[in-house]
Amino acid sequence: MSISSDKIRNSAIIGHSGCGKTSIDEALLYNMGVTTRLGEVDNGNTISDYMPMEVERKISINATITYGDWKEHRLNIIDTPGYDDFQARILTSLSAVDSAILVLNAVSGVEVGTLKVWKFADTFKLPLAILVNRLDKDNADFENSVAGISEKFSIKAIPVSIPIGSSQNFEGVIDLIAMKALFYQKDGKGKFEIKDIPDTLQDAASKAREKLVEAVAESSDELIEKYLNDGQLSEKEIQDGLKISFRERKIFPVVACSAALNIGLHTLLDLIVNSFPSPLERGSVLAQGADNKDVEIKVSQDDPFCAYVFKLMSESHVGDLTFFRIFSGKLDAGSPAYNSTRRQDERLGQLILMQGKNRQEITSASCGEIVAVAKLKATVIGDTLTDRKNPVILKGVVFPQPVVTQALIPKTKKDQEKLSSVLNRLRDEDPTIKIRVDPEFNQTLVSGMGEMHLEILQRGLKDKYGVEVTLSRPEVAYRETVRGKAEVQGKYKRQSGGRGQYGDVWITVEPLPKGEGFKFENKIKGGAIPSRFIPSVEKGLKEALKKGVLASYPVTDIKITLYDGTFHDVDSSDMAFQIAASMAFKKGVTEAKPVLLEPIMNLEVYIPEKYMGDITGDLNSRRGRIMGIDSEGGLQIVKASLPLAEVYRYSTDLRSMTQGQGTFTMAFSHYEEMQEKIAGTIISQRKPKE
């Protein structure tokens, strides 16, 4: 039986890698009675990190759906990865929920990944609670963490609980709404005693509660008036005001906790039930109607069925699954559905609730629920499933462009044969994976968000589909051009009995401005070359462009002007003029000061300020140019241009230099002339091929 939509809470846990997201999810599930033992990431026995690669690396790779019940409410929680390599899975998870829980490491405070996921949640305008975790660790600082998040994101981060003790002495929290102290046992079982607030913490608790009451009082005129008249608000009034302010993103409540000791998470559970919005309170969602105009989809059980596909999964133990969030309407197992994005009918099989890798079949689902079905034939991430009579398309996720590219080489012919179809399936599961075949080098190139991203893809190919590949450095697509001007003749004459071959052209070779490619101009006058042969000349030149004279790389940014020539009434032919043009091209480029060009990329590197010297020095050593430095949210953004040849494995090197705190984005900028010495090395390694 489907649960009532007003009793559902959908949230994603987000944060920088290593801040404890999976441990928090595990503790929440344990406290809700989903599991009888508290799993640990280091032991590889958590509910959400179950893939062999996750267990081995001790990190989250997938976004995993879990759920539990708390005080007659259904809490759907998506545990998301923290590594920047897997940001597509963070984005798609946020598209399926109504709120988010941002986890902060109490020792590290705001980190690079914190800034990234904050931006993601802000893009979706999601209400967001902040969980300050690891208060049991040395150098943990709750107040600095709260101040840092408030300052760097310019928000009202208001604690609803504060810690009792710190580091090894952390033993509980003060619930600022109820104004009671919760003293926990330190055995991870989440048992606690409710006591009066200790005298030593009365002052701190009173000040913190006053800030909370002042903030929530602003949620309505009625509460402001009550607060001004009485100087205080009841527990229920605080909860009501907090719910309004949280939903409107005016207050970002902060909870103190330690996931490892299972301390403080009951406060979060109560906050989710009392203050987080239900699907019905989310409001409408934007979609595109049949006339391509924006329409609002009312979040309601009584409106037509409409759902958004946010995850595909292919695992040996669960099979191929399609996950979607129902935004309106109801659905029965075995119902037909219409993929309005691709205009194809689909039939949904058994509906499934996923608890990590475990599945529970259900007969129906409705507005607000997150369910899976056996993989659909045409549906991929970002598609909308609807009633056929109401074919709207929900607004999709905008994914970032990949920053790392490697060549993918099958180990055997059998692997080669299976590779194409298998790669398409992996690309369907992760929209930030880009795959293309480079015709210049006949290489299969795979691009992703980082080296780890591609290593996981490589492992997935082997584990899921039995396809073994190696990843290697891709060929760099160098180009050749000219810096000078030359006038040359290309003459092809061949006589071997019978009809011969004759073509004769005079051309001018000169450079074009950067990025303009190739231009051919015909200045033949007086019929020196018949007009029927002019296309053959152009064809011969275009063919010759494919191999330059320095290192057989394509030639670009060049203008060829055909201004004279001769022909033979009998022996001239299309082929003869193509060959003559090619001969003239090679001679002309050789005489017009040919140079080698290399692709230049624009990088934006996000780092804490303490790593500035190391990063700028490293970029300089890679022949990079620093174009500018900005700051945002307490982070430095180094803008640089860098040759593509120097970017290989930069993702791994940056992570090493910044202890995992640095990230970057990259985009192609332009081609630029190489330094002569470096160009000489490239040329010597790759002689022109006749």
- Any idea what the CATH number is for the domain that residue 624 is in? 3.30.70.240
| 376's tokens | 């659909």
Assess if residue 501 is contained within a domain: yes
Do 105 and 254 share a domain, yes or no? yes
461-488: b or e for each residue (b if 16 or more CB lie within 10 Å)? beeebebebeeeebebebbbbbeeebbb
**Residue 291 belongs to what domain range?**
285-394
pLDDT digits (tens, 9 = 90+) for 342-379: 999 999 999 999 999 899 999 999 999 999 998 888 89
Tell me, what's the pLDDT at 688? 47
Average pLDDT over the chain reads 92
CB 273 within 8 A of CB 6: no
CB 372 within 8 A of CB 284: no
What percent of the chain has a predicted confidence (pLDDT) above 70?
98
SS3 676: helix
Please determine, for residue 316, whether its predicted confidence score (pLDDT) is greater than 70. no
Q: Which of residues 592, 627, 645 is at a domain's end?
A: 592
Tell me, what's the pLDDT at 490? 96
Contacts of 205 (CB under 8 A, 6+ apart): 162, 174, 176, 179, 197
Q: How far is CA 363 from the centre of its chain?
A: 34
With CA atoms as reference, report the closest residue to 331 among 354, 356, 349, 312. 349
pLDDT digits (tens, 9 = 90+) for 277-311: 999 998 888 888 877 788 888 888 889 999 999 99
Do 383 and 255 share a domain, yes or no? no
Assess if residue 144 is contained within a domain: yes
Tell me how far apart the alpha carbons of residues 622 and 639 are, in angstroms, rounded to a whole number: 14
The domain that holds 521 is classified in CATH as 3.30.230.10
The domain that holds 329 is classified in CATH as 2.40.30.10
pLDDT digits (tens, 9 = 90+) for 81-123: 998 889 999 999 999 999 999 999 999 998 888 988 999 999 9
Q: Which of residues 240, 261, 281 is at a domain's end?
A: 281
| 436's tokens | 């293309």
Do 468 and 485 share a domain, yes or no? no
Q: How many domains would you assign to the chain? A: 5
Written as one string, the DSSP assignment of 15-64 is ESTTSSHHHHHHHHHHHTTS-SS---TTTT--SS--SHHHHHHTS--S-E
Do 610 and 563 share a domain, yes or no? no
Assess if residue 211 is contained within a domain: no
User: What are the CA-CA distances from residue 331 to residues 284, 302, 335, 353 (Å)?
Assistant: 19, 11, 7, 14
Please determine, for residue 8, whether its predicted confidence score (pLDDT) is greater than 70. yes
CB 49 within 8 A of CB 65: no
Do 588 and 607 share a domain, yes or no? no
Tell me how far apart the alpha carbons of residues 422 and 93 are, in angstroms, rounded to a whole number: 24
Do 436 and 468 share a domain, yes or no? yes
Tell me how far apart the alpha carbons of residues 360 and 140 are, in angstroms, rounded to a whole number: 40
Do 143 and 174 share a domain, yes or no? yes
Do 568 and 638 share a domain, yes or no? no
Residue 78, beta-bridge partner list: 12, 65
Burial level of 563, CB count in 10 A (0-12/13-18/19+)?
middle
What pTM did the predictor assign?
Answer: 0.87
| 479's tokens | 């180009």
Do 115 and 140 share a domain, yes or no? yes
Q: Which of residues 263, 281, 299 is at a domain's end?
A: 281
Query: What residue type is 684 in one-letter code?
Result: S
Do 631 and 503 share a domain, yes or no? no
Q: Residue 2 — pLDDT band, cuts 50, 70, 90? A: low
Do 117 and 193 share a domain, yes or no? yes
Least confident piece of the model among 252-256, 485-489, 633-637: 633-637
Please determine, for residue 156, whether its predicted confidence score (pLDDT) is greater than 90. yes
The domain that holds 461 is classified in CATH as 3.30.70.870
Tell me, what's the pLDDT at 498? 66
Least confident piece of the model among 21-35, 457-471, 571-585: 457-471
Tell me how far apart the alpha carbons of residues 380 and 286 are, in angstroms, rounded to a whole number: 20
Cβ atoms within 10 Å, residue 582: 23
Helix or strand holding residue 78 (H, E): strand 73-79
Assess if residue 238 is contained within a domain: no
Do 457 and 514 share a domain, yes or no? no
Cβ atoms within 10 Å, residue 324: 27
Tell me, what's the pLDDT at 422? 86
With CA atoms as reference, report the closest residue to 80 among 311, 292, 382, 422. 311
| 522's tokens | 């015909």
Query: What residue type is 106 in one-letter code?
Result: A
Residue 519, beta-bridge partner list: 559
Tell me, what's the pLDDT at 687? 66
